[in-house]
Amino acid sequence: MKKIYSKITSTIKQRLGVNKENINMSKKTNSSLISNVSYDGAAQKLTVSMSKGQTYAFTGVPQKVVTELTNATSQGQYFNRAIRGRFPTTKVTG
């Protein structure tokens, strides 16, 4: 029964265009620079809360970049190298 349910759910998600890129996520980080990241896959919008209180929104960020950021050994270094200054940015707070 679980296999049938899983297959039906998977088929419905595919037909509706729901996939991992469309899922919203929020994650605490283990970085001294970044305290939290959240991602809206449908809008390709990454929101980064910095440890010092500022929050920035980055648009046009692909899921791959977000995955690499959250999996990076040094999330701060990855952020500075691959995100900061590379995507349109809006300061949200701070």
- Give 66's pLDDT tier (boundaries 50, 70, 90): very high
H/E run at residue 91 = strand 89-93
**How much is the average pLDDT of 37-55?**
93
- In the chain, what percentage of residues exceed pLDDT 90? 59
Nearest Cα neighbor of 89 from 47, 50, 53, 49 is: 47
Q: Which of the residue ranges 33-37, 57-61, 78-82, 87-91 would you say has the lowest mean pLDDT?
A: 33-37
